[in-house]
Structure 1
Amino acid sequence: MQIFEKQLNRFKEELGFIAALDQSGGSTPTALKTYGINEDDYSSDQEMFDLVHSMRSRIITSPSFTGDRVLGSILFENTLDRDIEGKASSLYLWEEKNIVPFLKVDKGLEAEENGVQLMKPIPGLDELLKKAKSKDIFGTKMRSVVKLANAEGIQALVEQQFEVAKQICSAGLVPIIEPEVDINSPEKAAAEVLLKEQLLKQLDLLEANELVMLKISLPESANFYQSCISHKNVVKVVALSGGYPITEANRRLTENNGVIASFSRVLTDNLYSGQPDADFNAALAATIAPIYEASKT
């Protein structure tokens, strides 16, 4: 069986969740500060990325971080070009941990217009996808944000996501389409109704061999995305924590059958640079366990 098929079968047949370790340039200082490393502890972007790679490597190599509970992990492009214990990061994940690697490919967000933030252009995407494929990356992730229940804006956002998704599918990868609905939106529930309508419209336009994943904010109504989960072109629907505390994120996740976690911030909340390894591994295990259980429903 080819590597892609093995990775695909993991998501179709096995239990677990996705660990999103893809903090990029803008979010890296916040991730490091949470980890106990302040901005005055480094003096350049290179030092900053060295430090965050050290943090990610510590998580990935931890005995608490295994394919038994973690199905996949999302990497930042900078991580793709780095090694973990002498092996390319994506290959280490797959070959040593049995964890399916994904790659964040978006370049950030445009300014808000019509109640949404579209993705910025992604120059050099075809070359990046070729590199990702050569390193056994299974899929990609790209994020845009819905702020308000604006039908025109949401339609434009979803159309942009699927246009890029088709380019990624043609490169032999599975895109994670992430139209995050801001959890603080005063129109969150109404925005979710419009979003689901547009998602289903675009899903129905895909060819049979164009497989995608969806990454959504935990909805206001339980089991709201069941029609997306059951769609023939959808490998998996995953949920971001979106700023909810971990207990609330897990509670909402439990209410949405067939949706698994793709959490980032809450995964590292109790991890600190100065922790002894035993404490670090125990804290990571204590965070992973309830996320895994909530993803099993």
Structure 2
Amino acid sequence: MNSSQFEKIKNGKGFIAALDQSGGSTPKALAAYGVLEDAYTNDDEMFDQVHEMRTRIITSPGFDSSHILGTILFEQTMDREIEGKYTADYLADKGIVPFLKVDKGLADQKDGVQLMKPINDLDETLRRANERNIFGTKMRSVIHEANPSGIKAVVEQQFEVAKQIMAADLVPIIEPEVDIHSGEKEKCEDILHDELIQQLNALSENEYVMLKLTIPTKNNAYKELIEHPRVLRVVALSGGYSRDEANEKLKQNDGLIGSFSRALAADLRANHSGEEFDEALKSAVESIYDASVNKH
């Protein structure tokens, strides 16, 4: 593991950019950017378009290590190049720590939650991630209802996979997202908190994870998780909130930093001039940085 990257993630000021839209969410991300489905005829062309978008973001002057600690990549992005370098190496040269989304999407809802689909090729993916100089991984589940057995199953699955990732000398970002539209959001968060603490307490001294969580309804509800010695960092997803709303909620939570996807790219358009694009991205980056670092 890269010790300087570890130190940056643990103690650095900034946020984690999420550029890991996968097969299912890519058309939506491209459409929001202004590239409609008639601009590509198959998956290969679609992924070419999204890599162009990600390249434009990553190479923009506003996408810099003074504001951004790390970036979460989609698997195809890890295997592609930016200006002649593999994406993770390009990011590292900018001083930004690279992460890789490793989950294969969500299973159908059961017991009020969606577990991850099986990740059958995880060992091979982790081997390639090490080859590509990836620092850590990310995997997502979703909690819809305050069902204790469902939430327990989500957390147990996440930590089971996380142990495989830690054994490969990578830091897992565990993402048990609570649906912001859940009628039991705060109750879900209380149950999730307790299940996470139980699993964290069972880790050994040389095992570290990161947590990516929905911004809690009750301010500072995750303080104990943020301060836990086995937790490298707790980051927040935007979860469908607008950037302004997500930023405002983030500011109310000490020690919690952003890891936004839609909220980061919301104002970027394919037809922007270079100057318009760079300015829109810079504005988004600075606002998320401010919400991550400057608390009420």
Question: When the two structures are superposed, what TM-score results if normalisation uses the length of structure 1?
Answer: 0.98
CA distance in 1, matches of 2:289, 2:63: 12
Instruction: Tell me which residue corresponds to 2:51.
Output: 53
Deviation at 1:215, TM superposition (A): 0.3
Q: Which runs of 4+ in 1 moved over 6 A?
A: none
CA distance in 1, matches of 2:126, 2:79: 13
| SS of equivalent residue, structure 1 residue 185 | coil
CA distance in 1, matches of 2:79, 2:108: 29
- Aligned runs of 1:5-84 on 2, under 5 Å? 5-84=3-82
CA distance in 1, matches of 2:163, 2:69: 24
CA distance in 2, matches of 1:167, 1:12: 21
Confirm or deny that 1:136 pairs with 2:133.
yes
**Residue 177 of structure 1, aligned match among 160, 174, 178:** 174
**Residue 161 of structure 2, aligned match among 143, 164, 170:** 164
- Aligned runs of 1:228-247 on 2, under 5 Å? 228-247=225-244
Gaps of 5+ in 2: none
Deviation at 1:150, TM superposition (A): 0.2
CA distance in 2, matches of 1:13, 1:230: 12
Identity of aligned residues (%): 56
The number of equivalent residue pairs is: 294
Deviation at 1:130, TM superposition (A): 1.1
CA distance in 2, matches of 1:288, 1:192: 28
Deviation at 1:56, TM superposition (A): 0.0
Gaps of 5+ in 1: none
Deviation at 1:290, TM superposition (A): 1.1
Deviation at 1:13, TM superposition (A): 2.1
Instruction: Tell me which residue corresponds to 2:84.
Output: 86
Q: Deviations over 1:141-197 (max 9, x none)?
A: 000000000000000010000000000000000000000000000000000000000
Letter in 1 for 2:83: E
CA distance in 1, matches of 2:89, 2:117: 29
Instruction: Tell me which residue corresponds to 1:282.
Output: 279
Question: When the two structures are superposed, what TM-score results if normalisation uses the length of structure 2?
Answer: 0.98
Deviation at 1:22, TM superposition (A): 0.2
Letter in 2 for 1:195: L
Letter in 1 for 2:220: N
Letter in 1 for 2:214: S
Instruction: Tell me which residue corresponds to 2:196.
Output: 199
Deviation at 1:127, TM superposition (A): 1.1
Instruction: Tell me which residue corresponds to 2:259.
Output: 262
Q: Deviations over 1:222-275 (max 9, x none)?
A: 011010011110000000000011111001100110010000001111101111
CA distance in 2, matches of 1:221, 1:7: 31
CA distance in 1, matches of 2:2, 2:127: 14
Confirm or deny that 1:154 pairs with 2:147.
no
CA distance in 2, matches of 1:47, 1:252: 37
